[in-house]
Amino acid sequence: MYKVLVTGSAGFIGFHVVSRLLKKSQIHIIGLDSINDYYDISLKYGRLSEHGIECNQLTNSHKVYSKKYPNYTFFKGDIADSCFMTKLFNQEKFDYVIHLAGQAGVRYSLTSPHEYITSNIQGFLNILEGVRHNRIKHLVYASTSSVYGLNTTVPFSEKQPTNHPISLYAATKKSNELMAHSYSHLFGIPTTGLRFFTVYGPWGRPDMALFSFANSIIRNKAIDVFNNGNMIRDFTYIDDVIESIERVIFSPAEMNREWSSDDPLPDSSSAPYKIYNVGNGQPSSIISYISALEKALGKRALINFKELQPGDVLITHADSSSLLADIDFKPNTTIEEGVNNFVNWFKVFYKV
């Protein structure tokens, strides 16, 4: 029986990771989430309820057992609380850690920068310290395609330098990769960072484009489309992301014995450290994305075209060949299929 900590387990990706791992009887899952109000808490409660967690029992640092799954336990707690995190690691004795908690969102980082330092820097340090002192077999953590920043050579490869982020959110995620490498080097901790590319699907976040677009279209409200629609994104369906995480977590990062400090490739190291892109590899325009949503909803969108927002990149396009080579999988769900699945969930959950 392995014990796996999943932070951010009431969040979008964390919820789906827990759902997948619950199918494996040999794994006991500990979920952790602060359930903050960055977006609608009722959606987070809905995700927890799906896993048998009675939300009226939730208090800080209190363990709640699932009513549906004997191999799932949930804690409400903040990763930035070093005392709580130290106690959690010491008591639960995890084998693996999937770290998905943290403050997300590019535009929110322009108005609330301190949230990103607290959660994404201090919180990640607490994760690293817990992993360091408790002999964790492998730490897998969420990074982002936003780290590519001002890079214009596409598709983005993990072998490219990522030294010019254009949002504080991206800067904190790049910092996580650097912090992870230092701990891998100093303490021999296997760490793998996953750079997610525009993840979407059922149970998604309300602040992300697909969710807000669908909500507005259904209510006959105009949607804001930035850079006059000339934005290209590598939309990656949630099931493909979860498949990647499941395969990576049980394949701990190893030292690259061919790595050289004379030509230091940024995606691996002489330490047990690895970075992967997790993206579909078939980028689409925002307008094409909206068209797929219109088709799934059977309704046209009203569009307000706006200028490019600070912190936004023009294009994301993943080279996921390294992921395919190492775990024999790469994301491949089409936008049409993924958007249809999202719309079907949205209509049921919100009783549209």
Among residues 268, 248, 220, 233, the alpha carbon closest in space to that of 145 is found at: 233
3-state helix, strand, coil in the chain (%, to 5): 40, 20, 40
Instruction: Reply yes or no: is the peptide bond before residue 155 cis, omega within 30 of 0.
Output: yes
Q: What is the DSSP letter of 155?
A: S
Q: What is the DSSP letter of 310?
A: T
- Cα dist from 60 to 76, 117, 190, 259, 290, whole Å: 5, 21, 30, 44, 40
Determine which helix (DSSP H) or strand (DSSP E) holds 99, and give its type and residue range: strand 96-99
Task: Give me the phi and psi of 94, to 5 degrees please.
Answer: -70, 155
Out of 69, 108, 116, 169, the active site residue is 169
17 token code pair? 């990771």
Among residues 248, 282, 265, the alpha carbon closest in space to that of 139 is found at: 248
Specify whether 350 is catalytic: no
User: DSSP letter string over 30-56?
Assistant: EEEE---SSS-HHHHHHHHHHTT--GG
Residue 241's CB is within 10 A of a number of other CB atoms, namely 26
User: DSSP letter string over 204-235?
Assistant: --TTSHHHHHHHHHHTT--EEEGGGG--EE--
User: What residue has token string 């504080």?
Assistant: 168
Query: Which residues are designated catalytic?
Result: 169
